[in-house]
Structure 1
Amino acid sequence: MMIDNDPIAMRKVYYDAWQKELKGLPLTPMEIIIVDIIKRHPEYHPIFTEENFEKLQTEKFALDHNPFFHLALHVTVAEQIGADRPQGIRELFSKLLKKHQDKTIAEHKMIECLAHVLVESFMKDAASSEEQYLESIRKLI
């Protein structure tokens, strides 16, 4: 899992992975995940040009319009599926994928559930509920 409280450093992780991909350089396992996600979001490709990235490194985005937060949620979901943690999430993803026939759409559905649970736990100042998260995904199937 990628955890860093420095948003500029985290943004650079995405930028560096994309630049390595464009240059045909070898990628780490985490960079492979990041690049796959960026490839499926062509609307974000302009962010990762050197000129634009320099300007956007310190940009303050509204949470619901933050491309870096969106990418981070994708990475989180990819890691959850890979580790099957919370237990059963891999099977739920498979069912969503079968229903929608599109990996990105299935992940976006899961991201909506994850974001809702995270915001709710933040508002209640409580730990997020894995069961609530899984149940919200089950309702989509």
Structure 2
Amino acid sequence: MVDQDPTALRKVYFDAWQKTLQNLPLTPMEAIISDIIKRHPEYQPIFSDPENFNDLQNEKFALDHNPFFHLGLHVTIAEQVGANRPLGIRPLYQRLLKKYGDQNQAEHKMMECLARILVDSFQQSNSVNEKRYLEAIRRLL
């Protein structure tokens, strides 16, 4: 799910949750987003009331408390696992699920690794080092 326009990207999240609340059919990506929002009740009020989101936009979310960044990392993990890219991430994910016994906890651990790798690559103006990313995930096991 790649979109450079934050407003358009945020709309995807709002639309997915609104469709969920109305029991409307979801696209595969909307189903992923809906599942993630279901696992995050703290974010549900935000996505349940898109009309009031303009008030929220004026708030500066800390990166670790930004619902869009957080959910975006979950979506990234879901896409990576679904495609098994980087190669080998799917079996690592399955092992983490067994270790933690909780999908959210396993994904949050992976997201910490992903966020660190993304920050490092951004600061060093490099592409994401998939090998280091997978090594970081392996250390969680």
Normalized against structure 2, the TM-score is what? 0.94
Instruction: Note the alpha carbon deviations across 1:61-118, whole angstroms, 9 max, x for none.
Output: 2322211011001000000000100011000000100000000000000000000000
Aligned to 1:140: 140
Q: Distance in 2 between matches of 1:54 and 1:15?
A: 13
**Structure 1 segments of 4+ aligned residues over 3 angstroms from their partners:** 57-60
Gaps of 5+ in 1: none
Gaps of 5+ in 2: none
Q: Does 1:114 align with 2:114?
A: yes
Q: Distance in 1 between matches of 2:59 and 2:9?
A: 13
Q: Distance in 2 between matches of 1:78 and 1:121?
A: 21
Are 1:81 and 1:90, in contact at CA under 8 Å, matched by a contact in 2?
Answer: yes
SS in 1 for 2:4: coil
Q: Does 1:87 align with 2:99?
A: no
Aligned residues: 140
Q: Distance in 2 between matches of 1:65 and 1:9?
A: 20
SS in 2 for 1:42: coil
Normalized against structure 1, the TM-score is what? 0.94
Instruction: Give the residue type in structure 1 aligned to 2:116.
Output: H
